[in-house]
Amino acid sequence: MAVSVAELDRMPESRAAPLLSSCCGSTAWVTRMLQRRPFGTFEALATTSEIVWQELSPADWMEAFSHHPRIGAGDAPGWSAEEQSGVSLATDTVRADLAEINRQYEERFGYIYIVCATGKSAVELLALARARLANPPGVELAIAAMEQQSITRLRLEKLFR
């Protein structure tokens, strides 16, 4: 269901909030985006999204992360299923490896492995996760936040373009 930016600008918060929340699960991000309406254009919406995202705290980022299914878990709803479609062709071995890397990642960093999975195969997602496990926690949080920002941008494009 595509919605125009003009429609988003005019709709009541009770309708706009769930639309924005479908793009990013951070309550603070949604609230601040609602407060900054009207956007007028998609470019203004996307730019505001990036600015607001950078203003958020790590706790807000982690809240957004928590709204994602694990990569390769097979239970991804809606957009997540589409974004993770590269995993559907994975072998059982790669799926098992993804499950294990997800476990290791969560144990090390305290949140799920966040990656913009669109257009990536299961093997690519696995390799990225393995490489990112070596990152210091602060570096990895910044990378995960950038990945979430990319996911949000893609979802905004799907919804408002």
Task: Based on the residue annotation, tell me whether 67 is a catalytic residue of this protein.
Answer: no
Length of the chain (residues): 161
Q: Is the pLDDT of residue 131 over 60?
A: yes
For domain 5-160, give its CATH number from 1.10.3330.10, 3.10.110.10, 3.20.20.120, 2.30.30.90: 1.10.3330.10
Predicted confidence at residue 85, as pLDDT, reads 62
The catalytically annotated residue of 68, 70, 120, 132 is 68
Read off the pLDDT of residues 35-75 as tens digits, 9 standing for 90 and up.
999 999 999 999 999 999 999 999 999 999 999 888 876 65
Reply yes or no: is the peptide bond before residue 38 cis, omega within 30 of 0: yes
Query: What interhelical angle do 27-35 and 13-21 show, nearest 10?
Result: 130
